[in-house]
Structure 1
Amino acid sequence: MNNISRKRTIFSRLAGGGIKWTPIFSLASLFLQLIAILLLMFQGAAVVAVSNKPAPTLVELADGRAISVRAIASRDRSADAIDRFVRSAMTGLFSWSGKTLNSQGQLIPDKGVEFAKGLTITEPALIASFALADNYRPILLREIAGQIPGDVFLGKTQIFLDIKHLTDAQKVGEGKWVVEMLANLLTFDENHQIGAGITFNKKVFLKAIDPPFNLMPKTPLEERFFELRSSGLEIELIKELI
């Protein structure tokens, strides 16, 4: 009977409002608010730690190689990067040795690649043409095909671009530059053992592009392609330098 009476007393207090719930709810709410504040403080400290962390300067590539990097705006390119790209692309486009690399990296005779009816270009120049903007590539390839002597593909003539000077890149717009090149085209054949040179001065117009990702070159030619595209640059136009 005593147990029954005690239970009735508790239920009657609950039903009659004997227990004050408002202070309990207030304390519980205050406790939850304190936990939320502590969580926010922890997250804020983590964000500050990440923002103050120096940017990585060494990145390991998928093939195990490590390269140094620095943070720049998406459409900015360093003067050194532009210089290297222009030298590499122009030399590849306008040097015709009659040799190319096979999949083992060995030099073999370059029989040329027919990219359009009746138009043949050297294989290295075709690879280098991927440094050109898509709308400009077929135009320049036709011009180059018309300049390559047939004896190049017979191994009797070699022509090399000898770059004498590149000006510092002049910015002409957001992510756009122009570089002036002073160079000679040197021809070596049975009649010119020391090389016959002609002036080859050009104005090269460049723009920034998004470099490709997740490319794993497997052959020397694929590596050459990756080297050109990974610079984040392409040639929009090449004009005579007057």
Structure 2
Amino acid sequence: MQLLKPENRKNSPLPLLVVGTFGLHLFTLLLLIFNGSMLQQLSRQLIPQSLVQLVDGRTITVDPQPNLERQPEAIRRFVGETMSLMLTWSQQQPPTQVWEITSQLVADDFKQKLKSEITNLSPDSQFENVNRGAENVLVIEKISQPTEIDNGKWKVEMFANQLVFSSYDKLGKSVSFNKQILVKAIEQPATSLPNAALPLHFAAYRLGEARLEIYKICEIEDQNCSVNPNKALP
């Protein structure tokens, strides 16, 4: 019986079991590392970087931004070009046509009020019928850096003058247009192109790609312009 004990130890499956268990744990660890690497690559594919071409011809990749984020310069450009389009008209480009196209860049619940303010901006000008030689041009002097007032909402201050010319007043006159302009981010562009698109349609459509819209305009000295009337007072 004692002579058989060494042979029993030599044929014992315990060492093989230990080695097999260690190998299985090592394989499991490597599999987890591999799965983690694959998940990381998949997340990059689901949220890819965007390729951006700079004005000097160089290309860079940028991380995607949340839907409600906008660059300050994009906001300033949207406000300046939108207001310039909206407040510049002539007999060849009548204000009714300009308003019909550019009002797509204005929030629905603010359109009627803004149209009334534009109509009354210059009592001498005829909004519905433009006389021969009449022309209105918005000249912007300054647009401030945007101030974030809420998530996806900003305020800019614009200092401008609307120049009003007529057939009997070639020198024209200047009407001050110093305003606080509130804009907000939207999910989808609000502009669209008709079948027979005019250059103004393309200009408004290009601005609409910023997915912004004007939802309020106040006088420059209004201290409560950005106050939310629906927010309860403390």
Normalising by the smaller structure, the TM-score range is 0.5 to 0.7
Residue segments in structure 1 that go unaligned for 5+ positions in a row:
1-31, 60-65, 101-109, 111-120
Equivalent position to 1:241, from 216, 220, 231? 220
Equivalent position to 1:123, from 97, 101, 108? 97
Q: Contact (CA 8 Å) 2:136, 2:164: kept in 1 or not?
A: yes
Give the residue type in structure 1 aligned to 2:71: S
Q: State the secondary structure of the residue aligned to 1:76.
A: coil
Alignment partner, residue 39 of structure 2: 47
Equivalent position to 1:135, from 87, 109, 113? 109
Superposed counterparts of 1:27-66, under 5 Å: 41-51=33-43, 55-58=49-52
Return the alpha-carbon distance in structure 1 between the equivalents of residues 189 and 183 of structure 2: 17
Q: State the secondary structure of the residue aligned to 1:85.
A: helix
Q: State the secondary structure of the residue aligned to 1:57.
A: strand
**TM-score of the two chains, using structure 1 as the length reference:** 0.64
RMSD: 3.9
Seen in structure 2, the aligned counterparts of structure 1 residues 92 and 232 have a Cα distance that, compared at 3 Å, is: same
Q: State the secondary structure of the residue aligned to 2:180.
A: strand
Report the CA distance between 1:143 and its aligned residue: 2.9
Alignment partner, residue 183 of structure 2: 206
Corresponding position: 1:181 with 2:137: no
Give the residue type in structure 2 aligned to 1:57: L
Seen in structure 2, the aligned counterparts of structure 1 residues 37 and 70 have a Cα distance that, compared at 3 Å, is: closer
Seen in structure 2, the aligned counterparts of structure 1 residues 209 and 160 have a Cα distance that, compared at 3 Å, is: same
Deviations 1:30-72 (A, max 9, x none): xx9999887655443222234568712249xxxxxx9986522
Return the alpha-carbon distance in structure 2 between the equivalents of residues 214 and 237 of structure 1: 18
Q: State the secondary structure of the residue aligned to 1:135.
A: helix
Return the alpha-carbon distance in structure 2 between the equivalents of residues 240 and 161 of structure 1: 17
Seen in structure 2, the aligned counterparts of structure 1 residues 184 and 222 have a Cα distance that, compared at 3 Å, is: closer
Return the alpha-carbon distance in structure 2 between the equivalents of residues 68 and 198 of structure 1: 45
Residue segments in structure 2 that go unaligned for 5+ positions in a row:
1-23, 54-58, 222-234
